[in-house]
Amino acid sequence: MDNHTLKTHALAAQKNAHAPYSNFKVGVAILGSNGNVYSGCNVENVSFPLGQCAEATAIGTMVNSACTSIKKIVIVSPTDELCFPCGGCRQKIAEFADSNTEVVMFSQSGDEKVVSLETLLPFAFQMDEN
């Protein structure tokens, strides 16, 4: 599935974002290794630290559908700047991806950047390294 098709899924999810505190609505679409698409939006809370990133929502949706492998993940920013996943979400993506998995960012103005997970999260924590 091409990046622009995944982007349309991410844009649809972005519309559902609950972001009344930051006004920063993010949409994510994951292409699972099974070929299915799982999307998610950020879900904020009046108790600010309880907010959930769009990546976490999409990953939860994926796992809840019995898919545990990310082939590609697309993140749509609400602004003309690309939205890179936060540090915690990089680790969450790494749980279900490998170093070559593509992470694709789109801005509202259509800029696109594709990087590997390894680029975003070098020396990722693993428990089986020794």
Q: Is 55 a residue of the active site?
A: yes
Residue 130 and residue 19: Cα distance in Å, rounded?
41
* Best CA proximity match to 93, nearest among 49, 50, 125, 130: 125
Which is the catalytic residue, given 55, 81, 112, 118? 55
Contacts (CB under 6 A) with ligand THU, residues 8-67: 19, 22, 24, 26, 42, 44, 51, 53-55
CA atoms of 25 and 21, how far apart (whole Å): 10
Beta-strand relationship, 102-106 and 112-116: antiparallel
Contacting ligand THU within 81-120 (CB under 6 A) = 83, 85-86, 89
What is the total count of residues that contact ligand THU (CB under 6 A)? 15
* Residues lying near ligand THU in the complex (CB under 6 A): 19, 22, 24, 26, 42, 44, 51, 53-55, 75, 83, 85-86, 89
Residues annotated as catalytic are 55
